[in-house]
Amino acid sequence: MDIIIPEIWLRDFLKTKATAAQIAKCLSLCGPSVEKTSGKGNDLVYSIEVTTNRVDSASVYGIAREAVAILPMFKIQALLMTPKVTARELLAKTVDYLDASVDSDLCPRFAAILIRNIEIKSSPDWLQKRLILSGHRPINNIVDISNYIMLTLGQPTHTFDYDKIKNHKMILRKSNQGEKITTLDGKTHTLPGGDIVIEDASGILIDLAGIMGGQNSAVNENTKNVLFFVQTYNPVNIRKTSMALAHRTDAAVLFEKDLDPENVEPAARLGIDLFTTLAKGQPEAKILDIYPHPHQTKKLTVDYLTISKNLGINLPKPIITKILTNLGFKTVWKNKLLEVNVPSFRVRDINIAEDIVEEIARLYGYHHLPSTLMAGQIPDPHPDSTFDFETKVKNILKGFGGIETYTLSFVAKNKAGEDALKLQNPLGAESEYLRTSLLPSLTTAAKENSGEKEPFYLFEMANVYLPRKENLPEEKLMLAEIFFNTNFREAKGTIESLLESLHVKADFITEDAKYFLPSHRLVIKTKGQKIGQFGVLEEDNLIYGELEVAKLKAASREFLAFKPVSQYPAQIEDITMIFPERTKIGEVIKLITNNSELISKVELKDIFRDNYTFRIWYQNPKKTLTNEEVTKIRNKILQSIKVKFGGVIKS
């Protein structure tokens, strides 16, 4: 919650010699964060972020109360001045001017007073100026008084035109689903049900309580008598209604954070004063106050040891006492135990011993606490950590000239794949689904760079989200690569070299699938299990490959077992052969390799028209091969190639 506090207003309640800069700094270090100060002199304002649990400080007086506790910790004296009120009207459970029936679960405290013969006009300059400084537009004295009370004390109030309330009767109850109300901004709402509403004797809704008043009961220039209204409401109902109707008024934002009923009386008296002085109103003698469960003292006990353990130091007891007293707590030490009475405005956020520790720690100053790394045992490593492997793979691809990219996990429907998970509240149709494959994202990424002249290749390692019944989706980490304007063999070589670097023995099996050109796709398998795919896409001849990271890791070895280095050098020779059209050279190489144990390696060296040059390594680990032995193997190879593929040696 961001609030703006004018300096001149704050000084009404905060008596101190501290400068605005000092106040800003001290508050930020020990309390609500002052984001900035702007303006000078009487126009200076503080922009302050109040956390959701501290609605008690979301007002000028609330900030003054914090400052008075904090400034002395910096050796700056400060005094809190309570708002001056002169109104002395009595509180009464019933009054003759209003017949109210209130559901106290919805409205823990209901206060109202009739003020007669008001004069509606502009507010005085000093009031208008304060409202403008804190970001509110002055309207007229009646509306401005409400805003002024809310900004001063953090308590929203409302004014009805008394004469528009039929029979001066009010029933505060839960709404039924489908009931309608037009609020004073002219919007008509159909209520979801369970909203806090007020109806009058005619049975018509006149107030969407805690959010905005009804148009039919609103004050206008003809109003003579007003019913001034100060309440607290059940925060859960207010929150639900406000969110469901997307109606986020200042009042709703405060009420949904559970306000202190004890603040109702000061707000009512401040209001009576203002109506009397600024609108010449004549208040009734009694304030209606329906408050069946008044505030009870809340006590907590905190062990000194708990404080020390959390802080990491032993703070002297008098410092602890002083801090809590300055914050409005009452304290009694019983040996090592500290008994604390929580002030009414803090009972909602102070619930456990740790909450008291926080109060002590923040006021003592986190900046005064020591900084030490923890001693103690270092935990065991994670049994199936894949992070080092992922880094290794990325580094290998980087070494091959790959460029890593991060694309968004959300995609449009046509890129999501079947059964992809759909978002209930996407930012747009382009990002409505969670992707089940990296292929569409990388295709888009490559095409974003279609102006590029040189070949390039992008890769990404990211989760895809595969739906499972009655469960969270499976999050499968994928490695995907996309090659633009790249020769097929070079692209494929990147995958082959990656696998080789990871010591993965893989088979490439031709198999058609969606998105790939026919007979342009290979399934990558290890031990018969699919770990990925690679091939030429239908789209723009892009080449795409992907591997499942977990399976890749399972198939990889950090290093292979040591093999003694052979003492006998290999005989290496190049053989150029001519093949009929449509010969699968991969299979030829497989045939050559499998021909004899004495062939240690085969590579395709060169292609020129239909001439293929293979380089063959003949090697016997136990002796040097003679020319006769090599000739024998070579002839066997040539024979089998001729039989199986019709390939002949180039003469």
Partner 1 sequence: MAAGNPTELEVIRVAYLGRSGRLTSTIKKIKGLSPEDKKQAGVLINDTKNVIESEIANKKNSFKATPRKWFDPTIPGIKPKIGHLHLITQAISNISQTFEKIGFVRVRYPEVEWDWLAFEALNMPKGHPARDEWETFFVDAPDHPKYGQIVLTPHTSSGQVREMLRVKAPPIRMINIAKCYRRQSDVAHVPMFHQFEGLVIDKGISIANLKGTLDYFARNYFGTNRKTRLRPYHFQFTEPSFEVDVSCDICAGRGCRLCKEGWLELGGAGMVHPTVLKNGGINPKIYSGFAFGWGVERVLMMKSGLKIPDVRLLYSSDLNFLQQF
Smallest distance, Å, CB 413 to partner 1?
Answer: 12
Q: Six-digit token pair at 477?
A: 């980490």
Could you give the CA distance from residue 176 to residue 115 in angstroms, rounded to a whole number? Answer: 32
By rule CB under 8 A, what string of x and - marks binding of each residue 466-485 to partner 1? -x--x-xx-x----------
Of 448, 512, 573, 603, the residue at the interface with partner 1 (CB under 8 A) is 448
Smallest distance, Å, CB 21 to partner 1?
Answer: 9
Q: Among residue numbers 112 through 151, which ones bind partner 1 (CB under 8 A)?
A: none
Residue closer to partner 1 by CB (options 102, 350) is: 350
Smallest distance, Å, CB 94 to partner 1?
Answer: 35
Q: Among residue numbers 379 through 438, which ones bind partner 1 (CB under 8 A)?
A: 379-382, 385, 387, 391, 394-395, 397-410, 421-427, 431, 434
Segment near partner 1 (CB under 8 A); pick from 23-31, 78-86, 513-521, 538-546: 23-31
Interhelix angle 60-70/317-326, rounded to 10 degrees, is 160
By rule CB under 8 A, what string of x and - marks binding of each residue 341-380 to partner 1? -----------x-xx-xx--xx---xx-xxxxxx-xxxxx
Smallest distance, Å, CB 56 to partner 1?
Answer: 12
AA letter at 619? Q
The residue behind tokens 């050559």 is 592
DSSP state at residue 636: H
Could you give the CA distance from residue 391 to residue 323 in angstroms, rounded to a whole number? Answer: 50
Residue closer to partner 1 by CB (options 200, 460) is: 460
Q: Among residue numbers 24 through 63, which ones bind partner 1 (CB under 8 A)?
A: 25, 28-33, 35-36, 51-54
Segment near partner 1 (CB under 8 A); pick from 119-127, 141-149, 442-450, 532-540: 442-450
Smallest distance, Å, CB 312 to partner 1?
Answer: 3
Smallest distance, Å, CB 5 to partner 1?
Answer: 17
Segment near partner 1 (CB under 8 A); pick from 4-12, 104-112, 443-451, 542-550: 443-451
Segment near partner 1 (CB under 8 A); pick from 218-226, 320-328, 439-447, 630-638: 439-447
Smallest distance, Å, CB 637 to partner 1?
Answer: 35
Residue closer to partner 1 by CB (options 493, 580) is: 493
By rule CB under 8 A, what string of x and - marks binding of each residue 215-244 to partner 1? --------------------xx--xx--x-
Could you give the CA distance from residue 463 to residue 479 in angstroms, rounded to a whole number? Answer: 9
The three state secondary structure string of 359-395 is: HHHHHHCHHHCCCCCCCCCCCCCCCCCCHHHHHHHHH
Q: Among residue numbers 562 through 581, which ones bind partner 1 (CB under 8 A)?
A: none
CB 472 within 8 A of CB 486: no
**Other C-beta atoms within 10 Å of 350: how many?**
21
Could you give the CA distance from residue 199 to residue 208 in angstroms, rounded to a whole number? Answer: 10
Residue closer to partner 1 by CB (options 99, 358) is: 358
Residue closer to partner 1 by CB (options 57, 217) is: 57
* Residue 465 neighbours by CB under 8 Å, 6+ apart: 409, 420, 421, 434, 435, 436, 473, 474, 475
Q: Among residue numbers 240 through 279, which ones bind partner 1 (CB under 8 A)?
A: 240, 243, 256-257
* Residue 347 neighbours by CB under 8 Å, 6+ apart: 260, 295, 298
CA angle 115, 121, 125 (to 5 degrees): 110
Smallest distance, Å, CB 195 to partner 1?
Answer: 14
Cα–chain-centroid distance for residue 38?
30
Residues 361-368: contacts with CB under 8 Å, at least 24 apart = 361/310, 361/311, 362/30, 362/31, 363/30, 363/69, 363/70, 363/73, 363/323, 363/326, 363/327, 364/73, 364/311, 364/315, 364/319, 364/323, 365/29, 365/30, 365/73, 366/29, 367/29
Tell me which residue of 232, 217, 227, 299 sits closest to 266, measured CA to CA: 232
Smallest distance, Å, CB 422 to partner 1?
Answer: 4
Residue closer to partner 1 by CB (options 89, 358) is: 358
* Beta bridge mates, 115: 226, 283
Residue closer to partner 1 by CB (options 33, 596) is: 33
Q: Among residue numbers 305 through 324, which ones bind partner 1 (CB under 8 A)?
A: 309-313
Residue closer to partner 1 by CB (options 118, 320) is: 320
Smallest distance, Å, CB 23 to partner 1?
Answer: 13
Smallest distance, Å, CB 310 to partner 1?
Answer: 6
Segment near partner 1 (CB under 8 A); pick from 22-30, 74-82, 262-270, 611-619: 22-30
Residue closer to partner 1 by CB (options 186, 316) is: 316
Q: With contacts defined by CB under 8 A, how many residues of the chain interact with partner 1?
A: 91
Smallest distance, Å, CB 458 to partner 1?
Answer: 6
Of 42, 449, 594, 635, the residue at the interface with partner 1 (CB under 8 A) is 449
Residue closer to partner 1 by CB (options 313, 319) is: 313
Write phi, then psi, for 472 (nearest 5 degrees).
-65, 155
Smallest distance, Å, CB 398 to partner 1?
Answer: 3
CB 278 within 8 A of CB 145: yes
Residue-wise burial string across 406-419, b where 16 or more C-beta atoms lie within 10 A, e elsewhere: ebeebbbeebbbee
CB 208 within 8 A of CB 238: no
CB 67 within 8 A of CB 73: no
Q: How far is residue 518 from each of residues 186, 274, 506, 522, measured CA to CA in Å?
A: 64, 84, 22, 11
Could you give the CA distance from residue 5 to residue 84 in angstroms, rounded to a whole number? Answer: 19
